[in-house]
Amino acid sequence: MSPIEKYQRLSKLLSVNARASLPHPSWKPIHDAILVSAIAKHGWIDKESHIGAIIGDEDIQWGKPFDKGDLVLPSTTDTNKSSTSSSSDVENDKLEEVALRAVDFLNEQTDCKDLKGFNLNLVLKSYGIVSRTVVDEDGQAETDWHLDPDSKPTIIDGSTPSSISDDESYQELPTRKDLLKRAKIVLSKCPESVVSSSNAGNNKETDTHQFYVLDQSKISNVFLAELLRATFKQNQKTIKMARKLLSSALQETQHRMRSMTSASERAEFSRLRGHIALLDRAVKTKQINRPVKNVLRAILGMPILPPANPKDETFISDNYSFSAINGELCSVRGKYGKRNRMR
Protein backbone atom coordinates (compact mmCIF):
# COMPACT_ATOMS: atom_id res chain seq x y z
CA MET A 1 0.00 0.00 0.00
CA SER A 2 1.40 3.39 -0.98
CA PRO A 3 1.88 6.16 1.62
CA ILE A 4 -0.88 8.25 0.08
CA GLU A 5 -3.33 5.33 0.37
CA LYS A 6 -2.40 4.84 4.03
CA TYR A 7 -2.91 8.54 4.73
CA GLN A 8 -6.26 8.51 2.95
CA ARG A 9 -7.43 5.54 5.01
CA LEU A 10 -6.34 7.19 8.24
CA SER A 11 -7.91 10.53 7.31
CA LYS A 12 -11.30 8.79 7.02
CA LEU A 13 -10.97 7.64 10.64
CA LEU A 14 -10.16 11.13 11.89
CA SER A 15 -13.34 13.02 12.66
CA VAL A 16 -12.61 16.74 12.96
CA ASN A 17 -15.18 19.51 13.05
CA ALA A 18 -14.99 21.23 9.67
CA ARG A 19 -15.35 24.59 11.44
CA ALA A 20 -12.25 24.05 13.59
CA SER A 21 -9.33 26.40 13.09
CA LEU A 22 -6.62 25.39 10.64
CA PRO A 23 -2.88 25.74 11.33
CA HIS A 24 -2.35 26.93 7.74
CA PRO A 25 -4.77 28.10 5.02
CA SER A 26 -3.68 25.24 2.74
CA TRP A 27 -4.19 22.55 5.39
CA LYS A 28 -6.30 19.59 4.22
CA PRO A 29 -7.77 16.55 6.06
CA ILE A 30 -4.99 14.37 4.70
CA HIS A 31 -2.44 16.59 6.46
CA ASP A 32 -4.10 15.58 9.75
CA ALA A 33 -3.38 11.95 8.87
CA ILE A 34 0.24 12.77 8.02
CA LEU A 35 0.60 14.69 11.28
CA VAL A 36 -0.81 11.82 13.38
CA SER A 37 1.47 9.32 11.60
CA ALA A 38 4.49 11.55 12.20
CA ILE A 39 3.66 11.86 15.90
CA ALA A 40 3.25 8.07 16.17
CA LYS A 41 6.73 7.67 14.70
CA HIS A 42 8.66 10.41 16.51
CA GLY A 43 6.64 11.17 19.63
CA TRP A 44 4.37 13.89 20.94
CA ILE A 45 5.38 17.31 19.62
CA ASP A 46 5.54 19.08 22.97
CA LYS A 47 9.31 18.92 22.56
CA GLU A 48 11.39 20.76 19.98
CA SER A 49 13.49 17.64 19.44
CA HIS A 50 10.43 15.70 18.32
CA ILE A 51 9.22 18.30 15.85
CA GLY A 52 12.79 18.60 14.62
CA ALA A 53 12.89 14.85 13.98
CA ILE A 54 9.60 15.05 12.09
CA ILE A 55 10.76 17.92 9.89
CA GLY A 56 14.08 16.21 9.24
CA ASP A 57 12.52 12.86 8.36
CA GLU A 58 12.73 12.58 4.56
CA ASP A 59 10.32 9.63 4.62
CA ILE A 60 7.53 11.91 5.85
CA GLN A 61 6.20 13.77 2.84
CA TRP A 62 3.60 16.49 3.34
CA GLY A 63 2.97 17.28 -0.31
CA LYS A 64 2.60 20.74 -1.77
CA PRO A 65 2.91 23.42 -0.62
CA PHE A 66 4.83 22.17 2.42
CA ASP A 67 7.56 20.23 0.66
CA LYS A 68 8.89 19.42 -2.77
CA GLY A 69 8.63 15.66 -2.44
CA ASP A 70 6.97 13.27 -4.85
CA LEU A 71 3.82 12.87 -2.77
CA VAL A 72 0.82 13.95 -4.85
CA LEU A 73 -2.18 14.85 -2.73
CA PRO A 74 -5.68 14.09 -4.01
CA SER A 75 -7.32 16.89 -5.95
CA THR A 76 -9.77 19.13 -4.11
CA THR A 77 -12.01 19.10 -7.16
CA ASP A 78 -15.25 17.16 -6.69
CA THR A 79 -18.75 16.89 -8.06
CA ASN A 80 -19.95 19.68 -5.81
CA LYS A 81 -17.43 22.22 -7.07
CA SER A 82 -19.94 23.83 -9.43
CA SER A 83 -22.37 24.36 -6.57
CA THR A 84 -19.72 26.09 -4.46
CA SER A 85 -18.13 28.20 -7.19
CA SER A 86 -20.78 30.90 -7.06
CA SER A 87 -20.44 31.30 -3.29
CA SER A 88 -16.66 31.45 -3.69
CA ASP A 89 -17.04 34.22 -6.27
CA VAL A 90 -19.21 36.24 -3.91
CA GLU A 91 -16.70 35.76 -1.11
CA ASN A 92 -13.84 36.85 -3.36
CA ASP A 93 -15.53 40.21 -3.88
CA LYS A 94 -15.30 40.97 -0.16
CA LEU A 95 -12.20 39.05 0.88
CA GLU A 96 -9.84 41.89 0.08
CA GLU A 97 -11.94 44.19 2.29
CA VAL A 98 -11.42 41.78 5.18
CA ALA A 99 -7.69 41.74 4.41
CA LEU A 100 -7.55 45.54 4.45
CA ARG A 101 -9.32 45.68 7.81
CA ALA A 102 -6.80 43.15 9.15
CA VAL A 103 -4.01 45.42 7.88
CA ASP A 104 -5.56 48.42 9.66
CA PHE A 105 -5.77 46.44 12.90
CA LEU A 106 -2.14 45.31 12.69
CA ASN A 107 -0.93 48.85 12.04
CA GLU A 108 -2.96 50.18 14.97
CA GLN A 109 -1.90 47.34 17.27
CA THR A 110 1.82 48.07 17.40
CA ASP A 111 2.54 45.06 19.63
CA CYS A 112 0.57 42.59 17.50
CA LYS A 113 3.59 40.28 17.32
CA ASP A 114 3.35 39.79 21.07
CA LEU A 115 -0.45 39.61 21.30
CA LYS A 116 -1.16 36.41 23.17
CA GLY A 117 -3.50 34.01 21.39
CA PHE A 118 -3.45 35.93 18.10
CA ASN A 119 -2.03 33.70 15.36
CA LEU A 120 -0.26 36.41 13.39
CA ASN A 121 1.35 34.01 10.91
CA LEU A 122 -2.01 32.51 9.99
CA VAL A 123 -3.53 35.95 9.39
CA LEU A 124 -0.55 37.03 7.26
CA LYS A 125 -0.63 33.87 5.14
CA SER A 126 -4.42 33.90 4.79
CA TYR A 127 -4.63 37.43 3.41
CA GLY A 128 -1.26 37.92 1.73
CA ILE A 129 -0.09 40.56 4.23
CA VAL A 130 3.57 41.55 4.42
CA SER A 131 5.54 44.08 6.42
CA ARG A 132 8.22 46.65 5.80
CA THR A 133 10.21 48.88 8.12
CA VAL A 134 9.64 52.62 7.83
CA VAL A 135 11.23 55.52 9.71
CA ASP A 136 8.93 58.18 11.16
CA GLU A 137 9.61 61.91 11.54
CA ASP A 138 11.40 61.33 14.84
CA GLY A 139 13.74 58.82 13.29
CA GLN A 140 12.03 55.84 14.97
CA ALA A 141 11.74 52.62 13.00
CA GLU A 142 8.19 51.27 12.72
CA THR A 143 6.64 48.22 11.13
CA ASP A 144 4.20 48.99 8.35
CA TRP A 145 1.79 46.22 7.34
CA HIS A 146 0.27 46.16 3.86
CA LEU A 147 -1.13 43.79 1.27
CA ASP A 148 1.40 42.15 -0.99
CA PRO A 149 0.51 43.34 -4.53
CA ASP A 150 1.82 40.03 -5.92
CA SER A 151 -0.30 37.94 -3.56
CA LYS A 152 -3.85 39.27 -3.68
CA PRO A 153 -6.08 37.03 -1.53
CA THR A 154 -8.73 35.19 -3.54
CA ILE A 155 -10.55 31.91 -3.00
CA ILE A 156 -9.76 29.17 -5.49
CA ASP A 157 -11.64 26.19 -4.00
CA GLY A 158 -13.88 27.55 -1.30
CA SER A 159 -11.19 27.69 1.36
CA THR A 160 -7.67 28.07 0.03
CA PRO A 161 -6.30 31.50 -0.95
CA SER A 162 -4.74 31.62 -4.40
CA SER A 163 -1.75 33.30 -2.78
CA ILE A 164 -1.01 29.88 -1.25
CA SER A 165 -2.22 27.63 -4.04
CA ASP A 166 -0.79 24.29 -5.10
CA ASP A 167 1.12 26.02 -7.88
CA GLU A 168 2.86 28.33 -5.42
CA SER A 169 6.41 27.90 -4.18
CA TYR A 170 7.41 25.96 -1.08
CA GLN A 171 5.71 27.01 2.17
CA GLU A 172 7.05 26.34 5.64
CA LEU A 173 5.13 23.99 7.87
CA PRO A 174 3.10 25.64 10.64
CA THR A 175 4.97 26.28 13.87
CA ARG A 176 5.32 23.58 16.49
CA LYS A 177 2.79 25.43 18.64
CA ASP A 178 0.21 25.49 15.83
CA LEU A 179 0.81 21.85 14.94
CA LEU A 180 0.47 20.89 18.60
CA LYS A 181 -2.84 22.73 18.82
CA ARG A 182 -4.10 20.99 15.69
CA ALA A 183 -2.94 17.60 16.94
CA LYS A 184 -4.90 18.08 20.16
CA ILE A 185 -8.03 18.95 18.16
CA VAL A 186 -7.61 15.92 15.89
CA LEU A 187 -6.78 13.38 18.58
CA SER A 188 -9.50 14.57 20.96
CA LYS A 189 -12.07 13.51 18.35
CA CYS A 190 -10.49 10.19 17.35
CA PRO A 191 -12.26 6.86 17.92
CA GLU A 192 -10.71 4.36 20.33
CA SER A 193 -9.23 2.44 17.41
CA VAL A 194 -6.99 5.40 16.65
CA VAL A 195 -6.27 6.95 20.03
CA SER A 196 -7.18 6.41 23.67
CA SER A 197 -10.57 7.73 24.66
CA SER A 198 -9.37 8.99 28.03
CA ASN A 199 -10.70 12.43 27.19
CA ALA A 200 -14.11 11.16 26.15
CA GLY A 201 -16.98 13.23 27.43
CA ASN A 202 -15.06 16.51 27.63
CA ASN A 203 -16.99 17.93 24.70
CA LYS A 204 -20.52 16.96 25.69
CA GLU A 205 -21.75 20.50 26.16
CA THR A 206 -20.31 21.81 22.91
CA ASP A 207 -23.07 20.00 21.05
CA THR A 208 -25.92 21.26 23.27
CA HIS A 209 -25.35 25.00 23.56
CA GLN A 210 -27.10 27.32 21.13
CA PHE A 211 -24.35 29.85 20.55
CA TYR A 212 -23.19 30.56 17.02
CA VAL A 213 -20.16 28.43 16.09
CA LEU A 214 -17.82 30.35 13.79
CA ASP A 215 -16.60 28.46 10.72
CA GLN A 216 -12.86 28.99 11.07
CA SER A 217 -12.03 27.00 7.94
CA LYS A 218 -13.32 29.91 5.82
CA ILE A 219 -10.59 32.39 4.98
CA SER A 220 -12.97 35.33 5.41
CA ASN A 221 -13.47 34.32 9.06
CA VAL A 222 -9.80 33.90 10.01
CA PHE A 223 -9.30 37.52 11.14
CA LEU A 224 -12.46 37.50 13.26
CA ALA A 225 -11.59 34.13 14.77
CA GLU A 226 -8.14 35.33 15.79
CA LEU A 227 -9.62 38.45 17.44
CA LEU A 228 -11.87 36.19 19.51
CA ARG A 229 -9.07 33.71 20.24
CA ALA A 230 -6.85 36.53 21.48
CA THR A 231 -9.73 37.74 23.67
CA PHE A 232 -10.00 34.25 25.15
CA LYS A 233 -6.33 34.41 26.18
CA GLN A 234 -6.77 37.65 28.14
CA ASN A 235 -7.28 37.78 31.90
CA GLN A 236 -8.25 40.30 34.56
CA LYS A 237 -4.86 42.01 34.34
CA THR A 238 -5.27 42.55 30.59
CA ILE A 239 -8.99 43.34 30.59
CA LYS A 240 -8.39 46.59 28.68
CA MET A 241 -6.94 44.58 25.80
CA ALA A 242 -9.92 42.21 25.98
CA ARG A 243 -12.28 45.17 25.63
CA LYS A 244 -10.33 46.49 22.66
CA LEU A 245 -10.33 43.10 20.95
CA LEU A 246 -14.07 42.61 21.48
CA SER A 247 -14.74 46.08 20.12
CA SER A 248 -12.73 45.22 17.00
CA ALA A 249 -14.53 41.87 16.70
CA LEU A 250 -17.91 43.57 16.97
CA GLN A 251 -16.96 46.06 14.26
CA GLU A 252 -15.75 43.22 12.03
CA THR A 253 -19.06 41.37 12.34
CA GLN A 254 -20.90 44.58 11.43
CA HIS A 255 -18.74 45.05 8.33
CA ARG A 256 -19.26 41.43 7.34
CA MET A 257 -23.02 41.66 7.74
CA ARG A 258 -23.21 44.75 5.54
CA SER A 259 -21.35 42.89 2.78
CA MET A 260 -23.63 39.84 2.82
CA THR A 261 -26.24 39.48 0.09
CA SER A 262 -28.00 36.44 1.54
CA ALA A 263 -30.72 37.19 4.08
CA SER A 264 -30.25 33.83 5.80
CA GLU A 265 -26.51 34.37 6.04
CA ARG A 266 -27.06 37.84 7.54
CA ALA A 267 -29.52 36.39 10.05
CA GLU A 268 -27.01 33.75 11.12
CA PHE A 269 -24.20 36.27 11.44
CA SER A 270 -26.55 38.54 13.36
CA ARG A 271 -26.69 35.83 16.02
CA LEU A 272 -22.89 35.93 16.23
CA ARG A 273 -22.98 39.71 16.47
CA GLY A 274 -25.42 39.42 19.35
CA HIS A 275 -23.21 36.97 21.19
CA ILE A 276 -20.14 39.19 20.75
CA ALA A 277 -22.20 42.19 21.90
CA LEU A 278 -23.12 40.18 25.00
CA LEU A 279 -19.44 39.54 25.65
CA ASP A 280 -18.59 43.18 25.02
CA ARG A 281 -21.10 44.37 27.62
CA ALA A 282 -20.05 41.73 30.13
CA VAL A 283 -16.33 42.51 29.90
CA LYS A 284 -17.04 46.24 30.25
CA THR A 285 -18.89 45.69 33.53
CA LYS A 286 -17.58 42.40 34.92
CA GLN A 287 -14.44 40.38 35.29
CA ILE A 288 -13.21 37.85 32.75
CA ASN A 289 -14.45 34.68 34.39
CA ARG A 290 -15.25 31.14 33.30
CA PRO A 291 -18.83 31.91 32.10
CA VAL A 292 -17.43 34.68 29.87
CA LYS A 293 -14.74 32.42 28.47
CA ASN A 294 -17.25 29.63 27.95
CA VAL A 295 -19.13 31.82 25.49
CA LEU A 296 -15.86 32.34 23.61
CA ARG A 297 -15.21 28.61 23.80
CA ALA A 298 -18.63 27.92 22.31
CA ILE A 299 -18.15 30.37 19.43
CA LEU A 300 -14.69 28.95 18.68
CA GLY A 301 -15.88 25.34 18.87
CA MET A 302 -13.82 24.55 21.97
CA PRO A 303 -14.87 22.23 24.82
CA ILE A 304 -17.08 23.92 27.41
CA LEU A 305 -15.84 23.79 30.99
CA PRO A 306 -18.44 23.01 33.66
CA PRO A 307 -18.81 25.52 36.51
CA ALA A 308 -16.59 24.92 39.54
CA ASN A 309 -19.71 25.19 41.69
CA PRO A 310 -22.73 23.28 40.35
CA LYS A 311 -24.92 26.21 41.41
CA ASP A 312 -23.00 28.62 39.19
CA GLU A 313 -23.90 29.30 35.59
CA THR A 314 -22.07 27.77 32.66
CA PHE A 315 -22.43 30.90 30.52
CA ILE A 316 -22.80 34.58 31.34
CA SER A 317 -26.32 35.81 31.96
CA ASP A 318 -27.89 38.89 30.46
CA ASN A 319 -31.33 40.47 30.25
CA TYR A 320 -30.86 41.39 26.62
CA SER A 321 -30.70 39.34 23.49
CA PHE A 322 -29.82 40.27 19.95
CA SER A 323 -32.57 40.13 17.37
CA ALA A 324 -31.52 37.91 14.46
CA ILE A 325 -33.96 39.76 12.26
CA ASN A 326 -32.98 43.41 12.43
CA GLY A 327 -29.87 43.41 14.60
CA GLU A 328 -31.42 45.56 17.31
CA LEU A 329 -31.17 44.96 21.04
CA CYS A 330 -34.46 43.82 22.51
CA SER A 331 -35.45 43.13 26.08
CA VAL A 332 -36.28 39.53 26.94
CA ARG A 333 -37.47 37.74 30.02
CA GLY A 334 -35.46 35.16 31.80
CA LYS A 335 -31.81 34.35 31.79
CA TYR A 336 -29.73 31.69 30.19
CA GLY A 337 -26.76 30.12 31.79
CA LYS A 338 -26.39 26.58 32.97
CA ARG A 339 -29.48 25.72 30.96
CA ASN A 340 -27.45 26.56 27.83
CA ARG A 341 -30.34 28.36 26.16
CA MET A 342 -30.45 31.49 24.06
CA ARG A 343 -33.79 33.34 24.13
pLDDT of amino acid 106: 95
> What are the DSSP calls for 29-87, one per residue?
HHHHHHHHHHHHHH--TTSHHHHHHHHH-TT----TTT--SS--PPPS--TTHHHHHHH
Burial of 123 (0-12, 13-18, 19+ CB in 10 A): buried
Using 50, 70 and 90 to split pLDDT, how confident is the model at 239?
very high
A 10 A CB-CB count for 113 gives 11
Task: Lowest mean pLDDT of 55-59, 177-181, 317-321, name the range.
Answer: 317-321
Nearest to 274 by CA among 332, 216, 339, 231: 332
For residue 306, give every residue at least 6 positions away whose Cβ sits within 8 Å of its Cβ, in sequence order, or none.
Answer: 205, 314
Euclidean distance between CA atoms 63 and 72, whole angstroms: 6
pTM of the entire structure? 0.68
Read off the DSSP letter of residue 161: B
Mean pLDDT rounded to a whole number for the chain: 77
Q: What is the mean pLDDT of residues 225-230?
A: 95
Per residue in 272-292, pLDDT (tens digit) is: 999 999 999 999 887 888 999
Q: What is the mean pLDDT of residues 71-88?
A: 48
Euclidean distance between CA atoms 16 and 29, whole angstroms: 8
Direct distance between the N- and C-terminal alpha carbons of the chain, in angstroms, rounded to an integer: 53
Q: Where are the beta strands (DSSP E) in 99-222?
A: 129-135, 141-147
Residue 179: helix, strand or coil by DSSP?
A: helix
Per residue in 166-184, pLDDT (tens digit) is: 444 567 888 888 888 888 8
Task: Lowest mean pLDDT of 90-104, 133-147, 168-182, 192-206, name the range.
Answer: 192-206
